[in-house]
C-alpha cells in the first residue's frame, strides 16, 4: 500500500472515529476536571473498542486512530495514547500472566496506565535515570525501589505504572530494568503537578517499594531496550496527534477566512491571508506524509526506524505549533477567548514538542543515524 493515500476502508474508519470523537467523546471531555484522570472518558474509549485497537495494531493504524481522535477531541486522543504507552511494555515484553491480568483491563478502560521514565535529573537523557532498585535481603529475587519519577502522565492516579529503575552498577543505558508496579504497593506515593495540561501529570515517589522478578518486564538489565521499543512505536503517532491538531486548526481557519469580511470582502480574498493558509495546508500535508512514512517503516521492520520516527515526530510537532499559531493570528482576539477551539489547541500544541523526546533530542537522534 502506498503511504501517500489511504484505501477506502481506512478513509471511512478515520471519518467514523472523527465523528465518535466529536459526538460521543467530546461531551465527556468537557465534563472532566482539568489535571485529573477522566475515568468516564477512558471507560467510553474502552466501550467503543478504541482502546483495544491500540494493542496489536500496526503503527500506521495507530497513527490514523490518533490523528482522527485529535481532530475532534484532543482529550480523548491523549487518554488513548497514555493507555497505549503506559501498557506498551506489558504488551511487548510482559509475561503471559502480566498480559492476561492487565491488558484486558486497560483495553476496557477499567485500569489506567502510566509510563514512568522521566526523573527530576533524567528527562531527555533517559539513560541518566537514578531510581534505585536495591536487592531486598529478605526476598529472593526481590528489590526495593527508592527515588522519584517526575512529569509522569496519569500520575499519581494510575492503577499501575511501567517503571524503569537501575538494578545494576553500570552507567548509562546498561543496568536498567523495567518493572510493572501496581498502585497501592507499600511505600509508593506521589502528587499532582500543576502543569499547562488538561490531563494529569505528577510525581511518583518510591520509598523502599517492594518488587520481585514476577514484576519484571522483559529481562533484568534490559529495561532501556523495553523503553526504546515502546517509544519507537509511539513517536510517529505523537506526530499523528500533532497532525490532527494542525488539521483541526486548518479547517477552522478555512471556515473563518471564507466567512469573515474585512476591507471590503472575505479574508480569503486577501493575498496575504490566502498565502498564509496555503502554507499552513502544505506543511500539514507534508507532516502527515512523514508520519505515514515513518509508521510504514516501523511496520515493515526497516532498520531506519529510529531516524524516520524522530524525523516524523520533530517535523509534525513543530508544524503543528506553526499552524495553530498562524490560525490564532488569522482569527484575531476571538481565538484567545476561553473555550474557543484555537485557545484550547494553543495550550495543547506546546507539550508534544517536549515529551517523548524534545525536538532537540530528535535532531540529535537524526544526526547520529545519518553519520552512523
Q: Which residues are catalytic?
A: 356
β-strands 160-166, 113-116 pairing: parallel
β-strands 201-212, 160-166 pairing: unpaired
Using CB atoms within 10 Å of the CB of residue 303, give its burial: 0 to 12 exposed, 13 to 18 middle, 19+ buried.
Answer: exposed
CA distance 229 to 244: 24
Q: Is the dihedral of CA 167, 171, 176, 182 positive or negative?
A: positive
Q: Is the dihedral of CA 116, 121, 122, 124 positive or negative?
A: positive
CB-based contact 41:28 (threshold 8 Å): yes
How many other C-beta atoms lie within 10 A of the C-beta of residue 214? 12
Amino acid at each position: 500500500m502506498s503511504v501517500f493515500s489511504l484505501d477506502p476502508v481506512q478513509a471511512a474508519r478515520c471519518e467514523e472515529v472523527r465523528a465518535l470523537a466529536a459526538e460521543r467523546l467530546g461531551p465527556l471531555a468537557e465534563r472532566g476536571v482539568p489535571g485529573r484522570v477522566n475515568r468516564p472518558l477512558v471507560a467510553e474509549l474502552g466501550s467503543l473498542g478504541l482502546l483495544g485497537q491500540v494493542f496489536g495494531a500496526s503503527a500506521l493504524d495507530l497513527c490514523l486512530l490518533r490523528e482522527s481522535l485529535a481532530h475532534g477531541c484532543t482529550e480523548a486522543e491523549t487518554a488513548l495514547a497514555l493507555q497505549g504507552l503506559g501498557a506498551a511494555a506489558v504488551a511487548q515484553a510482559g509475561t503471559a500472566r502480566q498480559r492476561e491480568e492487565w491488558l484486558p483491563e486497560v483495553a476496557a478502560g477499567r485500569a489506567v496506565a502510566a509510563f514512568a521514565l522521566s526523573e527530576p535529573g533524567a528527562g531527555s537523557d533517559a539513560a541518566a535515570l537514578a531510581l534505585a532498585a536495591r536487592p531486598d535481603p529478605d526476598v529472593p529475587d526481590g528489590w526495593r525501589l527508592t527515588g522519584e519519577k517526575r512529569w509522569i502522565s496519569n500520575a499519581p492516579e494510575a492503577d499501575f505504572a511501567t517503571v524503569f529503575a537501575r538494578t545494576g552498577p553500570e552507567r548509562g543505558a546498561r543496568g536498567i530494568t523495567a518493572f510493572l508496579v501496581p498502585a497501592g504497593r507499600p511505600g509508593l506515593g506521589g502528587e499532582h503537578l500543576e502543569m499547562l495540561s488538561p490531563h494529569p501529570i505528577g510525581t511518583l515517589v518510591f520509598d523502599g517499594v517492594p518488587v520481585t522478578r514476577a514484576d519484571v518486564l522483559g529481562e533484568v538489565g534490559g529495561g532501556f531496550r523495553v523503553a526504546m521499543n515502546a517509544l519507537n512505536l509511539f513517536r510517529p503517532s505523537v506526530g499523528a496527534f500533532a497532525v490532527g491538531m494542525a488539521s483541526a486548526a486548518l479547517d477552522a481557519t478555512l471556515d473563518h477566512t471564507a466567512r469573515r469580511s474585512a476591507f471590503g470582502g472575505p479574508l480569503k480574498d486577501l493575498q496575504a491571508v490566502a498565502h498564509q493558509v496555503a502554507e499552513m495546508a502544505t506543511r500539514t500535508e507534508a507532516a502527515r506524509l512523514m508520519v505515514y512514512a515513518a509508521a510504514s517503516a516501523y511496520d515493515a521492520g526497516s532498520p531506519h526506524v529510529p531516524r524516520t520516527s524522530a524525523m516524523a515526530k520533530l517535523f509534525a510537532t513543530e508544524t503543528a505549533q506553526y499552524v495553530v499559531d498562524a490560525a490564532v493570528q488569522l482569527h484575531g482576539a476571538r481565538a484567545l477567548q476561553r473555550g474557543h477551539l484555537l485557545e484550547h489547541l494553543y495550550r495543547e500544541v506546546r507539550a508534544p514538542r517536549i515529551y517523548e523526546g524534545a525536538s532537540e533530542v530528535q535532531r540529535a537522534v537524526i544526526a547520529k543515524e545519518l553519520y552512523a
